[in-house]
Amino acid sequence: MTLVQDGQSTRGSSAKLIARVASALLVFALAGCNGGTVDKHALKRDAEKVGSLATEGELMANDVSKGASTKYFVRVHAKELSGAAADFEDSLAKRPTSPGIASDVRKLSKLAGKVSRELEQLHLHPTDRNVATSLKQPLLDDADAADKLAK
């Protein structure tokens, strides 16, 4: 078999492969930057994500209200969700927007802040069924509000 020859013939393609991986790594690095102008599409995506965080928070609050979760899990996961919502609040408040959607973008920023604060309550009171019960409806309302902004 002449398999080493096969290996020689693939040297050029391996160099291309390395170049492709390197350019993809560059894209990877650039993708980490959460900047840029918020256009309609970005507003829709961010609203969907804020709505997702609120809905997931409601799901967790519902389980806490039934005593169906654990203290440590709720404390940690609610903090993760709260932190993600706070990131949206910050970035949407600062980023430039396309004409005509500035008001919706700022609304979404405020909504993300509200979601973040509600999830923070869950983080601070991970076993308090009353707190969890009181958070369910507001989080559902937040998800609905985000859904409207996404449309």
Partner 1 sequence: MKIFQIALGILAAIGGFVDIGDLVFNVSAGATFGYQLLWVIVIGVVGIIVYSEMCGRVATVSGKAVFDAVRERLGFRTGLAALVSAQVVNLMTLTAEIGGVAICLQLLSALPYRLLILLAGIVLAIVVWTTSFDWIERVFGYGGLCLLVFAVAAVKLHPSWSAVAHGFVPHVPTQSPVLYAYFAVGLLGAAMTPYEVYFYSSGAVEEQWGPKDLGLNKANAMIGYGLGGFLSLALMIVGGALFLPKGIEPEFLGSIALTAQVPLGQIGLLLALVGILFAVGGAAIDTMFSGAYNLAQFLGWEWGRYRSNSGAPRFTATWLVLLVLGLGLVMTGIDPVQLTEYAVIFSSVALPLTYIPILLVANDRSYMRQYVNGRLANTLGLFYLVVIVVVALAAVPLLILTNAGQN
* Closest CB to partner 1 among residues 41, 103: 41
Residue 30: its H or E element: helix 11-31
Q: Least separation, in Å, of the C-beta of 70 and partner 1? A: 6
Tokens of 28: 């990877």
Burial of residue 64 (number of CB atoms within 10 Å: 0-12, 13-18, 19+): buried
Q: Least separation, in Å, of the C-beta of 8 and partner 1? A: 6
Q: Which residues of the chain form contacts with partner 1 (CB under 8 A)? A: 1, 3-4, 6-8, 10-11, 14-15, 17-18, 20-21, 23-24, 27-28, 31, 41, 45, 48-49, 51-52, 55-56, 59-60, 63, 66, 68-73, 75-77, 80-81, 84, 143, 147
Strands (E), 3-149: none
Q: Least separation, in Å, of the C-beta of 4 and partner 1? A: 5
Question: How long a stretch of residues is the chain?
Answer: 151
Residue with tokens 């309550």: 121
* Closest CB to partner 1 among residues 45, 110: 45
* Closest CB to partner 1 among residues 5, 103: 5
* Contact (CB, 8 A) for 40 and 107: no
The set of residues, in sequence order, having a beta carbon less than 8 Å from that of 38 and lying 6+ positions away, is 46, 92, 95, 96, 97, 98, 101, 105
* Closest CB to partner 1 among residues 10, 37: 10
